[in-house]
Structures are given as structure tokens and as C-alpha cells.
């Protein structure tokens, strides 16, 4: 306190911050269903390690620890443990290590299955049976609190559309501990008649108010509904525009009026990445990516990517505007791509064009994307190779010159994955179709499908099964172009080179290129595991896999050409390792083919590094 005279003083705070105190150890007490490694992956706080200077997760934060406590409880409740509670969090400072020791005491309870599932309506004029299709949980399923909450939200939204805006839906659980069954009754009550008088938004210095308001399913003057408010808060968090989001309510100008206070604190949303890498497929690569997922606070996304490498180079410019057309999300993309001949193929390609996309959500798990693409493509040879020396189908593609492709397509995606980056449970399926022939020079119909299923075996081990396939056919008297056909490689069966299997020109004196097929299928069975003794946050995972698949159905010319076109099964077994490093993903695979054709090109070792 500094006396300035005349009864006035200066108050000065002198602060010695010191270094951040890290978390040295995290322990779990009472856990038997899940190991410590798996539970550490659930929480945000992490133990101090060599990568902590990048992640920053080891700094002790009391608010984050409280959030971790709730995350652990929700994790158990979402995986069948309806009675699970984190009864205590012990925080002790260890002077010897100059860090904190955290201990989470967990009461897991029993693993429950779902018994009877019912809807009880206490709203006059409402037929409950018509609401049953909106329920996600089914009798006999493992108890999952997240599905109960999602179903309650869906019911609330549907009731509002049917003219019952004040209806409240609450899932009530009746547990039978001896039978380990949980009966669920969705109680639909009329609720108190209250209206939203105002939605006051503050804390946002960059993001526009209308970007925040569009995440609400209601506006001023509409019925007050706590379920829809919780959903809006979750949507705002998922935008990843804000450091913190909190919605509170206070009394309005009368007893039936409520004012909502939305506090949303902006965070940086721009991205600038410079990365380099190497892969046994594409050689040396460098990439520069510039983008912003909230351009000028409008909620729009813009991105520019430039790639330059030994065998591939290109540039992509994209722009997406969520909610620009109501529930529809339009986007536009311009691209230029070049690939050169490699040791596996005598030809490369040039592609220039653009695409317009229109995305829309169908449900919480399903989304649809429509697209129209217009681009030019042509086949190019490596310098020094004579067109008369290459395979006849390649020669014909070169003679066709630059072709314009005008195509309309759509993709339907269904996903129940628990984590999009490193899933351990759930399914993800994708079906895509493209029809070329709306103008342009080529006509074909192309269909592809990809389904992946993940299942956690224990805290360290995850099983994955994958199936994929595709078919392309020309129409209007045309064959599908060479560049749009399917070429077998490591994305289907590891252990083979890019373009290493599929129909191949074996004509004597030719370059014996892979000339593409019209059909393919592939399947994978894989076990993924954390590396024993290493913390989860290191991002290291090992895998063992079995791949099988094939490409066949050559539809090109057969005159003066000898094409091997048999439906030969290709399969391999192998091991791999993936590191989600702070500088980009790094993947190493070693696979040994166990069945193949004599003319296939194998590549047992595959390595890639960099952010691509």
C-alpha cells in the first residue's frame, strides 16, 4: 500500500507466478471393468511426459479436474453402468516430485441390460404409440445413458412440431439389481407454460450473434424447454469456436417469462500448417495449408491447400457456409492435381476442375452429401517413354486427349463411433454414387461402399472389421475411362504396391501396366492395441491385420492385347504401428502377401510421415 496523501492510497499486487505445477500421477481406485489406461483416455488431464510441452494437458487445473470427474461418470453410464459414481477426487501435492497426484475413487456398480422400454404420456390429445420409432434404445441392449438423452431430445423436438411446445420428456430408470435389468419409461409431462422473453448473448468479441442464434431450435417468444436449451449448449460447444459456453436462465418481466443468458468466449479458429513428409507410395511431399473455420466470425469455413512432391502435386481451394440454405450446407471447391509416372506405372494424370456440394443432416447419426463436379482429365506419360511402347489401353487413353467429366453424385454416411479420430466402439458406413454424363465427354455410373465396425475387447485392445467394394460401368455405348477405373493397391490389401494388382496388360514388349477393373471388393480384420508401458497421450498404437480382396472386370479393348483379367484372390497378413505425432501422422506397415497372381507387384514395407 503506497500512501499518496489526502486519504488516498495506491494498492499494488506483486505476483510471483513461478512455474506451472504439473500432474505427476493419475490413479483410479475401485475400477475393475476398465483399466487405468482406458480411463486416462477419457479425461482431459494427463500425466506429465515428454510431449507435455506440446499438449499442455499435464498442468493442474481444478476446473478441468471437476470436468474429468463428470466425464468418467458419463463414460461408465454410456457403457452399461447405470449406478456408476465418482465418489471422491483426491488431490495431493508431492514435494519430492514438485507435482500433484490425482486419485479418482470410482463406484462402478453393476452392468445393466435394458428391460422394458415404454412411453407414458400425461398430455391430453397426444398418442404415445406414434412416438416409438424415435426411440434409439431397444430391449436387450446394454444400458447407454447417451441414447436415453438423445431419444428424449428427439421426442421433445417432435412434440414441439406436433403442437405441444411445453411438453417435457424425462427418461426414468427403474433398476432391478438382482436381474441386472433397467426398465426405462419416457415420461411425457405437460410442463409449466413459460416463454423465452429474450436471448442475451455476451462474451463473443468475434463470432456474430446470428451464428450463435442459429444453433437454437427456438427464438424469443417461443416456449421455454430445458431439453432444447441443453441441446443448443452442446451444439455451441461442438462448433469449436469458443473457449467456454454456458447458458443460464433468470426471471423475465413476468412470472411466465424467462431470459436466457448465453456466455460464449471466442477462441482462435485460424489454421496455418506447414508440413513435410515421405511415403513409399508418393515419395517426398511438402504441404502448406491455410484456413479458418470461422471466417470473420461468420461461421463459414475457408481453406487453401498446396502440395508439392516427387510424384504428386496440386492445389485445392474450398469454401463452406453452414446453414446458408436453412438446414442445408452449401460448399464449393476448386482443385488442380497432377501425378507423374512411378516405378509401378508408366503413366500419370492431370486433373483440373471444381465441385459444388450440398450437405444435410438426416438424423443424429446419418448425413447426406450431394455434389456436382466438373473437371478435365487426361493421361500423361513419363518423359522419355514412347506412346508406342505403352500398353494398348493406355495408348488409347492418351489418344482420347483431355476429357471433360460432368458428374452428379451423393454420399450417405451413418456413424455411431465413440471417437472419430481413434474409435474403439461403433460402426461407420458410407455409400457413394456418381453419375457422369450430364454433358461432358464421358458417361459412367460408379458406386462404392465402405463399412467399418469397431469393438472394444478390453482397455487396451480394439477389434476392427472392414468391408469395402465398388462397381463402375459405362453407358451410352461408352466404356468407363481408364482414370476412373479401380486399381488394386495398399488401400485395399496391404503388402501390394499402388496399382500392384488387378487387370494387367501382359502383351510382350509393352510396359505391362495395370489397366484397371470395373469391380473390386476387399475386407480387413484387425486388432489395434496401445503400446504397453507408454501413456495413452503419446498417440502410439500397434496393429496386427489380415487383408483380402481383388480387382477384376476389365472392360477395355481386347484387340492386339493380352490382359490378365482373372478374379484372383489377393491376401496378406502383417503388423503395423501408427503415431499421431504433434507434427503429423506417421504410419508404418509390414505385410506379407500369402496369395496373389504371378504378375502382381508386391511392396511389403509401407511408410508415410507428415500431415497429409
Q: 610 and 277 in contact (C-beta within 8 Å)?
A: yes
Calculate ∠ Cα 9-11-14, nearest 5°. Answer: 150
Question: Same domain for 395 and 380?
Answer: yes
Last residue of a domain, one of 132, 156, 189: 189
CA atoms in the 13 A half-sphere facing the CB of 87? 10
Per the domain annotation, does 242 fall within a domain? yes
More confident call, 107 vs 279: 107
Percentages of the chain per state (helix, strand, coil), in multiples of 5:
15, 45, 40
Query: Which residue reads 499494488 in cell numbers?
Result: 12
> Tell me: the pLDDT tens digits for 452-509?
999 988 767 899 999 999 999 999 888 899 999 999 998 899 999 888 899 998 887 7
Counted residue by residue, the chain has a size of: 612
pLDDT above 90 (res 268)? no
Any bridge partners for residue 99, and if so which? Answer: 94
Question: Same domain for 379 and 441?
Answer: yes
Per the domain annotation, does 171 fall within a domain? yes
Per the domain annotation, does 13 fall within a domain? no
Residue 493 backbone class (left: φ over 0; alpha: ψ -120 to 50; beta: rest): beta
Residues 6+ apart with CB under 8 A from 146: 74, 77, 78
Residue 246 backbone class (left: φ over 0; alpha: ψ -120 to 50; beta: rest): beta
Last residue of a domain, one of 251, 266, 281: 266
- State how many domains the chain has: 4
Residue 85: predicted pLDDT: 94
For residue 323 the three cell numbers come to 446453414
Residue 585: predicted pLDDT: 65
> Tell me: the pLDDT tens digits for 134-162?
888 888 989 999 889 888 888 888 887 77
Q: 50 and 42 in contact (C-beta within 8 Å)?
A: no
Per the domain annotation, does 406 fall within a domain? yes
Question: Same domain for 381 and 472?
Answer: yes
Output the domain CATH number for residue 229. Answer: 3.10.20.310
Question: Same domain for 449 and 501?
Answer: yes
Q: Which helix (H) or strand (E) holds 474?
A: strand 461-474
Question: Same domain for 466 and 553?
Answer: yes
SS3 category, 331:
strand
Residue 612: predicted pLDDT: 36
Question: Same domain for 93 and 122?
Answer: no
Question: Same domain for 595 and 453?
Answer: yes
Last residue of a domain, one of 266, 297, 321: 266
Transcribe 510-568 into DSSP letters. Answer: S---B--BSEEEEEEEEEEEEPTTS-GGG-EEEEEEEEEEEEE---S--TT--EE----
Per the domain annotation, does 7 fall within a domain? no
> Tell me: the pLDDT tens digits for 42-54?
888 888 765 555 5
Question: Same domain for 78 and 161?
Answer: no
Query: Which residue reads 495431493 in cell numbers?
Result: 92
Name which of 64, 107, 103, 63 is nearest 84 in CA terms. Answer: 107
Output the domain CATH number for residue 321. Answer: 2.40.160.50
> Tell me: the pLDDT tens digits for 331-344?
999 999 998 887 77
Query: Which residue reads 503415431 in cell numbers?
Result: 579
Q: What is the pLDDT confidence band of residue 519, given thresholds at 50, 70 and 90?
A: very high
Q: Which helix (H) or strand (E) holds 16?
A: none
For residue 241 the three cell numbers come to 469456436
Per the domain annotation, does 557 fall within a domain? yes
Per the domain annotation, does 436 fall within a domain? yes
pLDDT above 90 (res 580)? no
Per the domain annotation, does 4 fall within a domain? no
Residue 611: predicted pLDDT: 43
Q: What are the start-end ranges of the H helices in 388-540?
A: 392-399
**Distance, CA of 321 to chain centre:** 19
Question: Same domain for 383 and 450?
Answer: yes
Question: Same domain for 182 and 218?
Answer: no
SS3 category, 501:
strand
Query: Which residue reads 471417437 in cell numbers?
Result: 419
Question: Same domain for 479 and 512?
Answer: yes
* Structural domain for 318, as ranges: 270-609
Q: Mean of the per-residue pLDDT values for the chain? A: 87
Question: Same domain for 225 and 147?
Answer: no
Amino acid at each position: 500500500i503506497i500512501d499518496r496523501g489526502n486519504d488516498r492510497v495506491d494498492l499494488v499486487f506483486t505476483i510471483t507466478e513461478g512455474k506451472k505445477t504439473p500432474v505427476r500421477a493419475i490413479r483410479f481406485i475401485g475400477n475393475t471393468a476398465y483399466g487405468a489406461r482406458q480411463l486416462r483416455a477419457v479425461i482431459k488431464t494427463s500425466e506429465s511426459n515428454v510431449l507435455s510441452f506440446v499438449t499442455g494437458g499435464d498442468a493442474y487445473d481444478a476446473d478441468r479436474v471437476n470436468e474429468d470427474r463428470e466425464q468418467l461418470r458419463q463414460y461408465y453410464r454410456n457403457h452399461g453402468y447405470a449406478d456408476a459414481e465418482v465418489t471422491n477426487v483426491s488431490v495431493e501435492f508431492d514435494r519430492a516430485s514438485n507435482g500433484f497426484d490425482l486419485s479418482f475413487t470410482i463406484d462402478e456398480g453393476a452392468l445393466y441390460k435394458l428391460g422394458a422400454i415404454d412411453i407414458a404420456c400425461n398430455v391430453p390429445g397426444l398418442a404415445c404409440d406414434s412416438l416409438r420409432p424415435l426411440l434409439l434404445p431397444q430391449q436387450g441392449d446394454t444400458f447407454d445413458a447417451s441414447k436415453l438423452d438423445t431419444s428424449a431430445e428427439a421426442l421433445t423436438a417432435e412434440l414441439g412440431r406436433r403442437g405441444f411446445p411445453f411438453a417435457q420428456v424425462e427418461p426414468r430408470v427403474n433398476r432391478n439389481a438382482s436381474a441386472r435389468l433397467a426398465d426405462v419409461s419416457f415420461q411425457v409431462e405437460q410442463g409449466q407454460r413459460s416463454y423465452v422473453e429474450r436471448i442475451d448473448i455476451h462474451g463473443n468479441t468475434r463470432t456474430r450473434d446470428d451464428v450463435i442464434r442459429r444453433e437454437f431450435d427456438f427464438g424469443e417468444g417461443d416456449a421455454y424447454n430445458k431439453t432444447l436449451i441443453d441441446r443448443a449448449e452442446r451444439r455451441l460447444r461442438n462448433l469449436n469456436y469458443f473457449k467456454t459456453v454456458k447458458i443460464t436462465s433468470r426471471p423475465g418481466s413476468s412470472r411466465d417469462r424467462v431470459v436466457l443468458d448465453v456466455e460464449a468466449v471466442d477462441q482462435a479458429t485460424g489454421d496455418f500448417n506447414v508440413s513435410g513428409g515421405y511415403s513409399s507410395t508418393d515419395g517426398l511431399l511438402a504441404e502448406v495449408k491455410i484456413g479458418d473455420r470461422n471466417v470473420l466470425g461468420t461461421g463459414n469455413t475457408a481453406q487453401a491447400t498446396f502440395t508439392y512432391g516427387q510424384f504428386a502435386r496440386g492445389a485445392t481451394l474450398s469454401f463452406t457456409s453452414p446453414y446458408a440454405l436453412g438446414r442445408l450446407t452449401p460448399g464449393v471447391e476448386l482443385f488442380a492435381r497432377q501425378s507423374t509416372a512411378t516405378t509401378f506405372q508408366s503413366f500419370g494424370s492431370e486433373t483440373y476442375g471444381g465441385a459444388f456440394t450440398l450437405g444435410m443432416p438426416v438424423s443424429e447419426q446419418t448425413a447426406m452429401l450431394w455434389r456436382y463436379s466438373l473437371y478435365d482429365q487426361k493421361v500423361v506419360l513419363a518423359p522419355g517413354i514412347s506412346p508406342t511402347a505403352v500398353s494398348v489401353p493406355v495408348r488409347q487413353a492418351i489418344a482420347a486427349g483431355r476429357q471433360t467429366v460432368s458428374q452428379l453424385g451423393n454420399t450417405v454416411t451413418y456413424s455411431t463411433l465413440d471417437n472419430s479420430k481413434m474409435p474403439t466402439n461403433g460402426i461407420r458406413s458410407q455409400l457413394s454414387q456418381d453419375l457422369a454424363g450430364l454433358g461432358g465427354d464421358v458417361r459412367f455410373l460408379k458406386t462404392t461402399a465402405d463399412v467399418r465396425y469397431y469393438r472394444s475387447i478390453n482397455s487396451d485392445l480394439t477389434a476392427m472389421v472392414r468391408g469395402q467394394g465398388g462397381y463402375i460401368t459405362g453407358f451410352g455405348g461408352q466404356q468407363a475411362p481408364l482414370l476412373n477405373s479401380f486399381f488394386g493397391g495398399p488401400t485395399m490389401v496391404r503388402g501390394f504396391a499402388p496399382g500392384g494388382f488387378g487387370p494387367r496388360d501382359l502383351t510382350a514388349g509393352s510396359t505391362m501396366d495395370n489397366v484397371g477393373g470395373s469391380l473390386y471388393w476387399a475386407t480387413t480384420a484387425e486388432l489395434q492395441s496401445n503400446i504397453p508401458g507408454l501413456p495413452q497421450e503419446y498417440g502410439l498404437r500397434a496393429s496386427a491385420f489380415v487383408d483380402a480382396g481383388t480387382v477384376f472386370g476389365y472392360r477395355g479393348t481386347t484387340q492386339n492385347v493380352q490382359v490378365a483379367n482373372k478374379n484372383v484372390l489377393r491376401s496378406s497378413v502383417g503388423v503395423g504401428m501408427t503415431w499421431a505425432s504433434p507434427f503429423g501422422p506417421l504410419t508404418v506397415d509390414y505385410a506379407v502377401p500369402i496369395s496373389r497372381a504371378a504378375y502382381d507387384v508386391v511392396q511389403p514395407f509401407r511408410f508415410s510421415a507428415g500431415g497429409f
